[in-house]
Structure 1
């Protein structure tokens, strides 16, 4: 029944045969594939999909478009595309930023070539599930040698008044020698009234010599149980600067991977996360150095409030043949409650000589001397803790190149602290 439902959905969307076949091949693999390996996080019993595929009805939860600015953007609520905003000059140069159906009409050969090239449909159970059951998708294509000054923005909103699964697939293709910034937001809107699952896959193809500044703010609601996968495939001398704020309210697994295939390629991953209530968040951040002289750095800072749980796994893997590669990582967690739980797990796998690698990890509570110093200046305990948290996360936030994203992360952080 599910397989026929997938085929019916695909045919109703007039998807090409190759995509229909990909969906069905993924469906056939789901039962035999293992779940992704996320160290020290027990998520096997989480509801990460109910094996249905459908679309959202029209929603009353419409964002305020007047507050979104005039930069190039795509806005989707659930499975519906509500706004595409692209300047005419960028369209003339070949920029495409739209939903999957429109992209298959505009650049069918490009989509077919790259869809699934960063994340294989049969890598694990949850990637196969995404390929089989994704009910909405977006495509960003930046042609060779194109530089874009204003940041591109993808806003993907989950309607909390709907129980339709939030199964999203985002494909970003950066041509050779391109340069641009991209901001991505996954957020719930509404009153968090319906329980829902989310399976999100983001594929980024970083062409030779491309320079991408990638920023993301995740803020899914407390009733959403989510698996968020982000994967970059690097070509020669490409660079991706990641900056991610994991600020969700519900149970979340974040799987963030950079595959440095190209010689001289760079990945710089910065992650901040906050867990509160009884929330469990597992963040798995991995860099695999395949290419010679490739560089992968990971910086993760997290805060845990109340009975929250936060796990950071930092994995650096230098494979055989990647001479001159560099893999560094740092994971630090601040606990503001004796009932909080945390792990910070550094993992280095080195299969080659003549490389550089290192790691640091720490878990601790608020420094009593810091609190005493602030409170002795007349600052109340709650404000003092907030200042300490900002200072702790600021080590990562200040490294984010986008001023707008830095500001938005602080606003989201303050709202999460207020709720706690």
Structure 2
């Protein structure tokens, strides 16, 4: 990592001031920029990505015109659409506005809700954790803030469409901050896609704070382009009797590293983390999925399924960490990988770290090739090899797909899977 130059700091400060960011944020960004030259990269067991260009020294910040996006009131739809750093659309029902729900781009939140967002922003994921988190804060150029106050229930999922603009070579550094007030309940669907074909970088982050007795279900459908190198970091902080469930469809076509963490700090806190990944061609993907049980009687489950095509590589690291004092905790995980061709490389690594006696914990892991008996059975009934392969894959992924509660999300994920198999 090259030394940070004064012109880089000047560019950062100039961009931040153009956005009318609060002083506290600008100071933290400058510190983060300095940290990028000394911080280390995060570790992924059995996966080496150190040759990737994930923290370019200088970003040419876009000529962003300061504006506040217009919020359109609707009857049922709650949705936000972003193209790179520009917010194209916000739909928010009048009922939710009157209840104090906030849905806006991250820079408007910094300006209009500075005191509120300061209490949560980069508190779940610390900027100084590693080089990628420092880079993220220093070069932040897009994002969304969702705040749901106490006792508010949103019946329909909050839809978030995030489009990376690869028609120009500006990395997408996007931050989604979700705060669930006590006893609130809602679901979020995030869809990441790419427009354009320049070689580019995406550094995305999700922070969720779930206050006591709240419930958040987040589904992320990731399908960034083959020429996009992706790093993502998603983490939830879950208090007493709260629940955060993740459903992640990793359909990116380019090299990807990422981690989804849940910190179960409250007594009776819960999480279910489901991950589907499909890799193809010469793609390389390394994934850490971690649950830390800190609260008594906390429950954390991990279910991961991956399919490898072409000459690709996929590493699943499932990490269950039960901290001393988390009596009555339950940590279960299942990691399975299906290799569809001999040139692929896959690993499913279950890791259990247990520092408490009165707990339940278990794991299952498998890495294998397609069942030839299944293929023979299907092809003997007149089904061509390609279609038979798709059916076997759909069956393998079925354990995760059927566990997705939303029919619309399940249908959308299946459509994305079919597209990826067709292109794989």
In which range does the TM-score fall when normalised by the shorter chain?
A: over 0.9
Alignment of 1:31-42 (within 5 A): 31-42=37-48
**Mapped partners of 1:377, 1:116: distance in 2:** 55
| Deviation, structure 1 residue 393 | 0.6
Matched, 1:258 2:262: yes
Per the normalisation by structure 1, the TM-score is 0.95
Partner of 1:77: 83
| Deviation, structure 1 residue 108 | 2.1
Partner of 1:244: 248
| Deviation, structure 1 residue 30 | 1.5
Matched, 1:101 2:107: yes
| Deviation, structure 1 residue 57 | 6.8
Structure 1 counterpart of 2:118, from 112, 121, 140? 112
Structure 2 counterpart of 1:231, from 216, 219, 235? 235
Please give the secondary structure, in 1, of the residue aligned with 2:126.
coil
**Mapped partners of 2:351, 2:101: distance in 1:** 39
1:313-354 Cα shifts (integer Å, max 9, x gaps): 000000111111111100000000000000110000001110
Partner of 1:62: none
- Contact 1:56-1:80 within 8 A present in 2 as well: no
Please give the secondary structure, in 2, of the residue aligned with 1:76.
strand
Partner of 1:305: 309
Alignment of 1:174-189 (within 5 A): 174-189=180-195
| Deviation, structure 1 residue 310 | 0.5
1:147-186 Cα shifts (integer Å, max 9, x gaps): 0001101111001212101111111111100000100111
**Coordinate RMSD, CA, aligned:** 1.3
Per the normalisation by structure 2, the TM-score is 0.94
Alignment of 1:122-271 (within 5 A): 122-190=128-196, 192=197, 194-271=198-275
Structure 2 counterpart of 1:393, from 381, 392, 397? 397
Partner of 1:66: none
> Is there any run of 5+ residues in structure 2 with no aligned partner, and where?
1-6, 65-74
Partner of 1:5: 11
- Contact 1:78-1:159 within 8 A present in 2 as well: yes
Partner of 2:68: none
Partner of 2:411: 407
Please give the secondary structure, in 1, of the residue aligned with 2:392.
helix
**Mapped partners of 2:408, 2:61: distance in 1:** 32
Partner of 1:329: 333
Q: Which runs of 4+ in 1 moved over 6 A?
A: none
Please give the secondary structure, in 1, of the residue aligned with 2:119.
helix
1:56-80 Cα shifts (integer Å, max 9, x gaps): 579xxxxxxxxxx962111100111
| Deviation, structure 1 residue 12 | 1.3
Number of matched residues?
Answer: 408
- Contact 2:249-2:275 within 8 A present in 1 as well: yes
